Amino acid sequence: MKKVIGIILTFTLFYSVSIAQEKKSPENWLHMDYETDKIMGMSVDKAYTLLKGRTSKTVVVAVLDSGIDINHEDLKDIIWKNPKEIPNNNIDDDKNGYVDDVYGWNFIGGKDGSHVSQDTKESTREYKRLSAKFEGKSEDELKKLPKNEKVEYEKYKKVKNKFITERAQMEQTLKIYEILKKGMEGIIKDFEGKELNANTLESYDVGQDPLKIMGKQTLLEGIKEGSNAEAIMKEIDKGYDYLDKMIKYKLNPDFDPRNIVGDNYADQLQKNYGNNDVIGPDASHGTHVAGIIAAVRNNNIGINGVCDNVRIMVVRVVPDGDERDKDVANAIRYAVDNGASIINMSFGKDVSFNKKIVDDAVKYAMSKDVLLVHAAGNSSLDLDKEDNFPNKRYEAGKKAEAWLEVGASSWEGGKNKVGSFSNYGQKNVDVFAPGVGIYSTIPGSKYERFDGTSMASPSTAGAAALLRAYFPELTAIQVKEIIMKTVTPIKETTIKPGTKNEEVPFSKLCISGGVVNVYKAVELALKTKGKKK
């Protein structure tokens, strides 16, 4: 029984569904300074003391995400507006191929105003595509495959194993959740009108009922950690809903919502599709990201963003599922062509369908002096050994120089300096930045704490935006170099993500060996001669 409960708790923690009462982070901790506040923030507020009297230039940051609530009280004044587009006249005024793209563009919407909400994982799509090509072939046929198809066949074997394994795990865990829900519901019903706490639950006799045995143990563990039955049940429901959607949509080869978009998906170079509704059906993630970068500072509303002179360009490419390479490539090009100097990408996946098309878009961004900032991912993986797309390394060799790959640091300090979920990599992750318990904007002019490298990436993008705003002569590569050189170095060991107590030097987790420090970055920028032509 303990093993089963362990599986459940491991699963819920991995997918950010915790039944324990977590310690709340300080609301503005990512802005704090370690010397002053004893919390490893990015020293944002302190950095502004160095900028008094300096003028800044407005910087456009493109947020490639799930959509953004452009009417949020703390964001509406900093949303980018296309100066060449007349709103709602159904005309492509600026002749860029996108009609009425006033605030940005939605590459996963239909011409009729509909949206892709759920989508499959890329591994599911690749499993389906490659199954049609290779499943059922004899050994002799496989031996005679041309070289390029042999490469594809090797990929097929990997994605098939990945898909089948993950689908089986999700189905098994969903069954456990169904049992758990029934057991907990039975116990809660038995306690109607009675006090339910650790003591009364301890003495509650479940007999030999396996449902109630599991439910009792889960409730007890959560209550002892400071939660209550209602909150625990709510989190179990969340976990059940997550698993149900994984099986119905993300891991379902027969589900394909692409007809909503109405493009020719086989034409990977096609550009003009989608719609201009940049909010989408669920803008929670993108709105949170945007607030970290640019929520209006010092307006006595909500929170302060990192940079005080930003316009957020909204580019919707991320459904509830994996983003598609065609959309990502088009989104990068759209952002570059419309004046973004920084692009934040808080998304990722472990399989790529068309890496080349994304690489080509990244190269285009590099040619236009644009900095790309990307979340390292939340799977506790070593990116020196595991794939994560998109990434800075081109398929044909070399890498994007103006690219920052960002892991998530924590406010807790001690040996818990890193988010337990964060991906890392001594060669492939550049820096860490605040990504645990980040308080930011969500739709409906509300605010909430989120965890993830999805929060660490915009923390860093905000820092880069501040440098580009106050030091516009700096190139994208110079901005990256300054951020890398001025991190707060972490000399102590920290618990390695994905482990309970394995300690590693912080320098083993990323190239820079530290956490972004905006104050130190501004100090160095003040001494740096810009190379921008």
Q: Which residues contact 310 (CB under 8 A, 6 or more apart)?
A: 58, 59, 60, 61, 78, 293, 294, 462, 465, 469
Which of 205, 224, 250 delimits the end of a domain? 250
For residue 492, what are its two tokens?
């102590």
Report which of 274, 184, 218 is spatially closest to residue 9, judged by C-alpha positions. Answer: 218
Report phi then psi at 503, rounded to 5. -95, 140
In a domain, 79, yes or no: yes
Integer Cα distance of 418 and 498 in angstroms? 11
Looking at residue 48, what DSSP letter applies? G
In a domain, 36, yes or no: yes
Q: What is the dihedral of CA 45, 50, 54, 59, to 10 degrees?
A: -50
Which of 250, 282, 309 delimits the end of a domain? 250
Q: Which domain holds residue 170?
A: 122-250
Integer Cα distance of 314 and 75 in angstroms? 12
Our measurement of the distance from residue 69's CA atom to the centroid of its chain's CA atoms, rounded to an integer in Å, reads: 17
Neighbours of 207 (CB within 10 A): 7
Residues 155 and 292 in one domain: no
In a domain, 356, yes or no: yes
pLDDT at 15 over 60: no
Looking at residue 53, what DSSP letter applies? T
Report phi then psi at 3, rounded to 5. -65, -40
Residues 484 and 348 in one domain: yes
pLDDT score at 10: 43
In a domain, 17, yes or no: no
Residues 311 and 453 in one domain: yes
Are 121 and 154 contacting, i.e. CB atoms less than 8 angstroms apart? no
Which of 219, 250, 281 delimits the end of a domain? 250
Residues 330 and 457 in one domain: yes
In a domain, 25, yes or no: no
Residues 175 and 219 in one domain: yes
Q: Quick one: pLDDT band at residue 221, thresholds 50, 70, 90?
A: confident
Residues 314 and 454 in one domain: yes
pLDDT at 196 over 70: yes
Q: Number of folded domains in the chain?
A: 2
Residues 142-172 have pLDDT tens digits of: 999 999 999 999 999 999 999 999 999 999 9
Least confident interval from 15-19, 154-158, 218-222: 15-19
Least confident interval from 55-59, 203-207, 241-245, 296-300: 203-207
In a domain, 306, yes or no: yes
Our measurement of the distance from residue 117's CA atom to the centroid of its chain's CA atoms, rounded to an integer in Å, reads: 16
Report which of 46, 30, 57, 29 is spatially closest to residue 460, judged by C-alpha positions. Answer: 30
pLDDT score at 1: 33
Residues 66-84 have pLDDT tens digits of: 999 999 999 999 999 999 9
Whether the model clears a pTM of 0.85, i.e. scores above it, the answer is: yes
Residue type, 531: K
Residues 89 and 150 in one domain: no
pLDDT score at 209: 87
Looking at residue 23, what DSSP letter applies? P
In a domain, 464, yes or no: yes
Residues 232 and 318 in one domain: no
For residue 389, what are its two tokens?
């797309």
Mean pLDDT within 208-236: 88
Residues 53 and 168 in one domain: no
* Residue 504 or 176, more confident: 504
Q: Which residues contact 253 (CB under 8 A, 6 or more apart)?
A: 120, 124, 125, 127, 128, 131, 163
For residue 500, what are its two tokens?
């309970």
pLDDT at 281 over 70: yes
pLDDT at 13 over 60: no
Residues 421-441 have pLDDT tens digits of: 999 999 999 999 999 999 999
In a domain, 175, yes or no: yes
Name residue, tokens 């068309």.
Answer: 354
pLDDT score at 91: 96
Report phi then psi at 38, rounded to 5. 60, 25
Looking at residue 133, what DSSP letter applies? H
pLDDT score at 29: 97
Residues 451-488 have pLDDT tens digits of: 999 999 999 999 999 999 999 999 999 999 999 999 99
pLDDT at 343 over 80: yes
Integer Cα distance of 486 and 224 in angstroms? 42
Residues 275 and 405 in one domain: yes
Domain CATH for 450: 3.40.50.200
Residues 493 and 371 in one domain: yes
Residues 405 and 351 in one domain: yes
